[in-house]
Structure 1
Amino acid sequence: MRKTRATLCAVALLPALVLATPAAAHRTEVTTRDGALTPGQQRAADRYWTPDRMRMAGALVPEITPMPPDDNTPDDPTVPPADQPDPGAVWTHGGAVTTTVGRLFFTFSDGYDGSCTATSVRSPNRSTVVTAAHCFRGTGDPADADTWNHNVYFVPGYRNGSKPYGGFSVRVMFTSSRWDTGTDSSEVAVAGYDTGVAVVNPRADGRRLGDAVGSQEIAFQPPVSGEFVHAFGYPHVQSGTQWLGARMVHCAGAARPGPDAPLLFGMRCDMAHGASGGPHLVGFDPATGHGTIVGVTTTGSDLAGGPEERSYATRLGSAAKLLYDRAVRR
């Protein structure tokens, strides 16, 4: 099924379907899509993502949606305890997470703009980001350009319409081939394949992403039920929450499998549309803002289940490592 503007970044709104496991019978391959390759294409992406266009990304009906206000919540140098649960609040405590995590912008095939969340991860090419696969594409034939998003652009540390560390156009995207043959995005997501990896171009001054903002560690390991996890994301104007995309939001808690999607792990968290692709980190140190990414936000309780709103992640396993290994060689 080709996903529309209303369903991309809205996997939580789709019904839960029959589960498969990452060890499903057919072999998992990597699907690749080029983005901004030429200098002209890269400059065009820089020009396209203006402050107001970034603020409005994700509006379901942008023609009548008011411009979201800035969020001027004061920064707080106080470092919270690493094991303190947080159901959702603007992250005001600084650290590396405020430079390595950002909004991932894109344009749907119908011409409307949307956004997700992505993170700079440690890699040999110093240019790799990880996010959710549904932030790049819908299911279907990857040769059909309409199954992919366009103008894909990463803004680390996004805040109130600004690019504090510049913007990075996406050069090439990688997703699991399970999205090629899947009949519905929710089916592929709950099966554990909702990971996307991309290589970004240097910013306008020629600096690579990792050199400009740093990176988070990344690990491909089995989940542990009850493990304490910190999640970050940029829920936007379509989220139905108090968040409007202006600032990065934080959640933390013990992650457990979804009752209706046991391959996805999450904690209580008031984030929705726009937070997709955001990092779930273990071993996170609030004093430094560093941790290790073990998953990316996929959906909420509507799809995965639970008694309250939760943020569920696709955990990074062997399928995600295939994508990462391919990306870091580019």
Structure 2
Amino acid sequence: MRTPTHRPRGQQGTRRTLRHAIGATVTVSAAVVALVTPAAAADTAPHTPSSSGAGAAGPDTVTTHAGAGTAQERARVDAYWSPERMKLAGAMIPEITPVPEDDNTPDDPRPLPANTPDPGAVWTHGGAVQKNVGRLFFTFSDGYDGSCTATVVTSANRSTVITAAHCLRGVGAPSDDDTWNHNLYFVPGYRNGTKPLGGFSIRTMATSSRWNADPDTTASSDLAVAGYDTGLLVANPAAGGRPIGDVTGSQRIGFDQPVEGEFVHTFGYPKAGLNGSGDSYVGSRMIHCAGPSRPGPEAPLLWGETCDMSSGSSGGPHLARFDTRTGTGTVVGVTTTDEELAGGQSPTLYATRLGDSAHRLYDWAQSR
């Protein structure tokens, strides 16, 4: 997706660049691309309008799309994502970019001291987060592969996964099947091209209709739309029939949180960093940031914390009340965009606040 420059209200005179933190093989405009492979019909289920994002037009409905629903489709998606293809997903020039070197940073079994600020580093401390956060792979409708980050959350069906809406479908895309990403494949605990807990194709997915309300906007130029940048997925079970939540465990999910200043931990699989930092990020290992939350340019729709993650970290969880000993917390937002400040100031990774709209998506997903 093209990276526009945005100057938030009240920040005149300071150049800031907001962009989606998605990992992609090329820059695409999702409003005009055509789907490469056939897809099932989408449907919408009406709901009461949300109080979140008053600037977005139209009613707030749950817009859904079918993924790999048959055994044959699941096998095809699983075969598509070879270790080599996973490593290259998100490379800007896949034809000439070599497979990135594996990140062999050693694990550290000691728990990270609580409330330790971290602008970005490989997560080496294990715990549940190492199992239920992973890399989400997909193919854009123009045929190029990309990746985001996603998380298994506690749910009634034990199969619900949360990410960013723009990892599923471009903002402002027409309301038809030709704009959804396909070949969706979630690898929890992804590490150096391996699948420690297996890979999971996606059976169905959902975003808010307000995410696609206006084809003339982008999420970075209309931040009210960015307040709807949440996507929910229902994963197919493992080969033996076990739901993904039984394989990986899950993180709690919370709505209308966090409070300003609350200490938050963020995880993702970036392919790039900000302000010259994170140059070694190649998507092979999970990266961690931590710090107090602060309002974003469209508070309370967006909020963030200091973090140097960029492309590929989209959809990653922002966890409040995170226990560094167990690796568990409460997902209170997912990464939607980053902000690179001029003059060497600390970069910010912003999350979409999980409000009423996200709650409806979650209720829909966990009932599947």
TM score, norm. by length of structure 1: 0.90
Distance 2:257 2:146 in 1: 31
1:121–1:130 CA contact under 8 A, matched in 2: yes
Distance 1:299 1:88 in 2: 16
Residue in 2 aligned with 1:221?
A: 256
Give the whole-Å Cα distance in 1 for the aligned partners of 2:364 and 2:181: 20
Residues 190 and 261, structure 1, Cα contact 8 Å, conserved in 2: no
Moved over 6 A (4+): 4-8
Report if the CA contact (8 A) 2:21-2:335 is conserved. Answer: no
2:228 corresponds to 1:193: yes
Counterpart code for 1:122? T
- Which residue of structure 2 lines up, in the alignment, with residue 167 of structure 1? 199
Residue in structure 1 matched with residue 335 of structure 2 by the alignment: 297
Q: What is the distance in 1 between the residues matched to 2:273 and 2:135?
A: 15
- Is residue 150 of structure 1 aligned with residue 182 of structure 2? yes
1:194-273 superposed matches below 5 A: 194-236=229-271, 241-259=279-297, 263-273=301-311
* 2:105 aligned partner: 73
Q: What's the Cα RMSD here? A: 2.5
Alpha-carbon deviations, 1:230-272, whole Å to 9, x = none?
0000002698732100000000000101246652111111100
The secondary structure found in structure 2 opposite 1:53 is helix
Post-superposition shift, 1:4? 7.1
Pairing of 1:26-37 with structure 2 (within 5 A): 26-37=58-69
| Letter paired with 1:315 | R
Shift of 1:155: 0.3
Indicate the residue corresponding to 2:317 in structure 1.
279
Query: Larger C-alpha radius of gyration, 1 or 2?
Result: 2
Amino acid aligned to 1:219: G
Deviating more after overlay: 316-325 vs 133-142: 133-142
Distance 2:321 2:130 in 1: 17
Contact 1:9–1:135 (8 Å) recurs in 2: no
Equivalent position of 1:17 in the other structure: none
* Aligned twin of 2:95: 63
Distance 2:237 2:222 in 1: 32
- SS in structure 1 of the partner of residue 350 of structure 2: strand
Give the C-alpha shift of residue 26 in structure 1. Answer: 3.4
Partner of 2:114: 82
Q: How many aligned positions are there?
A: 319
In 2, the alpha carbon distance for the partners of 1:273 and 1:101 equals 17
Given candidates 192, 217, 237, the residue that maps to 1:184 is 217
Match of 2:357 among 313, 319, 328: 319
SS in 1 for 2:301: strand
Are the structure 2 counterparts of residues 120 and 162 from structure 1 closer, same or farther at C-alpha, using a change threshold of 3 Å?
Answer: same
Residue aligned with 1:41, SS: helix
Cα distance between partner residues in 2 of 1:268 and 1:237: 15
Q: After superposing the two structures, state which structure 1 stretch, 197-206 or 277-286, moved more.
A: 197-206
| Cα drift, residue 86 of structure 1 | 0.3
Distance in 1 between residues matched to 2:145 and 2:273, nearest whole Å: 12
The letter of the residue matching 1:166 is: G
The answer to which of 32-41 and 262-271 deviates more is: 262-271
Q: What residue is the counterpart of 1:141 in the other structure?
A: 174
Kept after mapping to 1: 8 A contact 2:61/2:208: yes
Distance 1:258 1:5, change over 3 A: closer
2:136 to 78, 98, 104: 104
**1:52 has 2:87 as partner:** no
Structure 2 residue ranges without an equivalent (≥5): 5-18, 29-50
Distance 1:175 1:116 in 2: 16
Q: Which residue among 121, 129, 135 is the counterpart of 2:161?
A: 129
Does the Cα contact within 8 Å between 1:22 and 1:319 map onto a contact in 2? no
Structure 1 CA distance for aligned equivalents of residues 320 and 126 of structure 2: 18
Change (3 A) 1:185 1:10: farther
Q: Which of 271-280 and 21-30 deviates more? A: 21-30
Question: SS state of the match for residue 335, structure 2?
Answer: strand
SS in 2 for 1:98: helix
Q: What is the CA–CA distance in structure 2 between the aligned matches of 1:260 and 1:10, rounded to whole Å? A: 20
Alignment-mate amino acid for residue 173 of structure 1: M
Cα distance, 1:205 vs structure 2: 2.6
**1:36 & 1:87 partners in 2: Cα distance?**
37
2:23 equivalent to 1:23:
no
Contact conserved, 2:273 with 2:309, CA < 8 A, in 1?
no
Amino acid at match of 1:69: E
State the SS of the aligned residue for 1:63. coil
